[in-house]
Amino acid sequence: MNRSPMELAALASAAVPGLSPVSVAAAPDSARDFDSAVVTDREDQRWRIRSPKHEKAAFRLETELQVLSGFTPAIRAKLPFRAPSVAGAVQLDGLRTFVYHNMPGSEIGLDGLVAASEPLPQDIGRVTAAIHQLSDAVVEAANLPVYTADEFRSRRLNELDQAALTGAIPSVLLRRWEAALEETSLWSFQPRVVHGDLHEDNLLVERGRVVGVTGWTDLHWGDPATDFAWLASVEEPAFVEKIIESYRSHMKGGTDENLMRRASLAAEFALAQWMVQGISTHDEQIQGEAATLLEELAEDVRDHGGQDIGVASHPAPTPVPEPEPTPDPESKAPETEKEPDDAPKVALVEDAPEVPEEPEEPADEDVTEEDDDGAVITDSGARPADEPEQPAEPDNAVNLETAPIPLEQLRAMHQRRDNEEHDSRES
């Protein structure tokens, strides 16, 4: 059910006693899950309303309420950003609509974030590090999921099996993801408190600084790479590198080197999850969108190798055979002279008699040491004997400057989501 901004303003009045709206405007949000608006009252205070469209969205809002309730004043005081606080709620048709105190800042699109000057990327890294260093008590108090590294990997393997059963996932992607999930060294990480839905729409920016983080519906204890999956679609490596450097500088105890590999895998696998959701809900529009994006990803993997998500799962592009030269019709190949029938037969190597080794002749005295070496045929890539051996690059090394081309289909998914939100605001 879609609710108009006027209906949301009326719900806000019912949820917060004394709230008298004087204006209301639609607010950006996930158009499939929520109706959202911002209400301004007589005291010129602003309030945000989020109304769920279905039971799953309502459950996410209830989860967010538990999370925000666990953000005590002491916790909020240590955060380098503001988190929402719930002002009231009202139930309608069995689903609760929530009203939040308004927060400073506004959402900026992905292109806007990339184009922004410093210190915005450093802020994003610092904010992400602050989330990942929250106490696990925040997760436990809200009774949210807790996964060890092995449990998280096993969960992904189960989801991969479910995706494979649909028959809608290209086989090249299934093999690629399975290889990454079987690469145990890739999954050696320290679990953290994870936002779970971090991307540009949940970052509030004011005067070039990150001032708030919203969307706390998917908080859990798990893989910190989850909160970097949105960066897999960024076409500017320097922007991503600044965020990662800032993140690592603010993380106490260090970070694992495979962080961005798992983040890229999470971004790809989200397409399979999108397809499974479309099939389970019988939503043909989601299925169509997911099928297009999955095929684009499969084509990228076949042609270019895709993003770097692990050693075993990063196949080389399929080589293109060189065309055979077209023979010149005017040229005629010389005829092979036919061997006469009475010509002596050449014995096979295995049938040849053993030839006794001849004794080595003494070297001439006038042959220099350089001449004695003679000509040696070597592999073109062999290392000269007098050159010191170079240390091998570790398997988990990631060079952001030479990373494979970004996933255009993920950018398309972001663009589709932005269009949906724009259409929702226009309606």
**Rounded (10°) angle between helices 149-165 and 259-280:** 40
Q: Are strands 192-194 and 220-222 parallel, antiparallel or unpaired?
A: antiparallel
What is the Cα–Cα distance from 173 to 70, expressed in whole angstroms?
A: 40
Query: Is residue 415 scored above 70 in pLDDT?
Result: no
State the pLDDT at residue 263: 96
Architecture of domain 5-101: 2-Layer Sandwich (3.30)
User: Mind listing the pLDDT tens digit for each residue in 130-147?
Assistant: 999 999 999 998 899 999
User: In terms of pLDDT, which residue wins out, 297 or 373?
Assistant: 297
What pLDDT digit, counting tens, does each position of 277-300 carry?
999 999 999 999 999 999 999 999
What is the band of 314 on the pLDDT scale with cuts at 50, 70, 90? low
Sign of the CA dihedral 183, 186, 189, 191? negative
Collect all residues with Cβ–Cβ distance below 8 Å to 182 and sequence separation of at least 6. 312
Question: Per residue in 144-181, pLDDT tens?
Answer: 999 999 999 999 999 999 999 999 999 999 999 999 99
Domain ranges across the chain:
5-101, 110-318+410-418
Query: Residue 97 belongs to what H/E stretch?
Result: strand 95-101
Report residue 27's pLDDT band, with 50, 70 and 90 as the boundaries. confident
- Provide the Cα torsion 340, 344, 350, 351; round to 10°: 140
User: Is 110-318+410-418 a domain of CATH 3.90.1200.10?
Assistant: yes
8 A C-beta contact, residue 113 and residue 120: yes
Segment 208-242, tens digit of pLDDT = 999 999 999 999 999 999 999 999 889 899 999 99
pLDDT tens for each residue of 66-119: 999 999 999 999 999 999 999 999 998 899 999 999 899 988 999 999 998 889
Rounded to an integer, the average pLDDT of 345-353 is 42
State what percent of residues in the chain have pLDDT above 90: 59
N-terminal to C-terminal alpha carbon distance within the chain: 14
Which helix (H) or strand (E) segment holds residue 222: the answer is strand 220-222
Assessment of whether the complete model's pTM goes beyond 0.85: no
C-alpha neighbours within 13 Å on the C-beta side of residue 294: 26
At 227 the pLDDT is 97
Q: pLDDT band for 422, please (50, 70, 90 cuts).
A: low
Cα separation of 113 and 107, whole Å? 10
How far is the C-alpha of 252 from the C-alpha of 241, rounded, in Å? 19
Contact 252, 134 (CB under 8 A): no
Helices (H), 192-333: 237-250, 259-280, 284-304
